[in-house]
Amino acid sequence: MIKHYPYKSLGNANHGWLKSKHHFSFANYYNPSRMGFGKLRVVNDDWVEPGTGFPSHPHRNMEIISFIRSGAITHKDSTGNSGITKAGEIQVMSAGTGIVHSEYNRSKEPLTFYQIWLETNRQNVEPRWQSKEFPTEQASKLTLLASGYNEDQNKALFINQETRIYGGKLAKGSIIEHDIKHQAYILASSGMFKVQDNSTSSTGKGSGQNSGGNVTMNKGDGMEVTQSNSITLRASTDCEIIIIDTI
């Protein structure tokens, strides 16, 4: 089953230096029907003005993934880790027993990124931070970016949850089939593409309203895919797609 959440239906926050769209309840945005998706708790589509950012603040027992769409983010935390993660890269932070970190846009251009929080499957682990660069060119399939499965440790960044996060760019006209292990939340990072549920003809769109046929995803949209083991993606334009496959 597919449920489509258009960009305009998402939660909204505008702090001047920070503009954010919330896929799930977060901070001052509260929607009792949008409290998360399985172990996925937060997806924020953030825009950060140059020279600004998030000052030091704490986290505990959460897996926090940042997918950088444009610009670069400068990270520093209480464990001594620091680094700059650029567009086409992701960073993973396991908050574990507790960590204090800051995230800033030190560049002269806006920073855009997805902030993704997953509930952890291991409480009170030692805090950690990693970043990794992945291919940014158009490809024939999505790249595995982060995973909580041992067999993926040499391919992707590790997270403490039974989740796989995929991402990548597809060229206009590309058609790929993508397998789903559990259930998936799809993000339209850029461009336009169609999603077909290969397990059933029943789909929904417009914040869960049911309809039939392929569902079109535009930049900024979100989508839930449940009770399905496979989807087909058809790129209507050049596009960038992220898929979070989680329990």
CATH number at residue 162: 2.60.120.10
Buried b (16+ CB within 10 A) or exposed e, 83-121: eebebbbbbbbbbbeebebebbbebeeebbbbbbbbbbe
Question: Which residue range forms the structural domain that includes residue 34?
Answer: 2-246
**Are the C-beta atoms of residues 12 and 21 closer than 8 Å to each other?**
yes
3-state secondary structure (DSSP) of residue 188? strand
pTM higher than 0.85, yes or no?
Answer: yes
Among 80, 144, 73, smallest CA distance to 115 is for 73
pLDDT, residue 42, reads 98
By the 10 Å C-beta count (0-12 exposed, 13-18 middle, 19+ buried), 4 is classed as buried
pLDDT, residue 135, reads 86
The number of domains in the chain is 1
> Which pLDDT tens digits describe the chain residue by residue (247 residues)?
999 999 999 999 999 999 999 999 999 999 999 999 999 999 999 999 999 999 999 999 999 999 999 999 999 999 999 999 999 899 999 999 999 999 999 999 999 999 999 999 999 999 999 999 998 888 889 999 999 999 999 999 999 999 999 999 999 999 999 999 999 999 999 999 999 999 865 455 445 443 445 899 999 999 999 999 999 999 999 999 999 999 9
What distance in Å separates the CA atoms of residue 15 and residue 147, rounded to the nearest whole number? 33
pLDDT, residue 136, reads 84
pLDDT, residue 212, reads 43
Among 83, 74, 85, 66, smallest CA distance to 189 is for 66
- In DSSP terms, 136 is beta-bridged to none
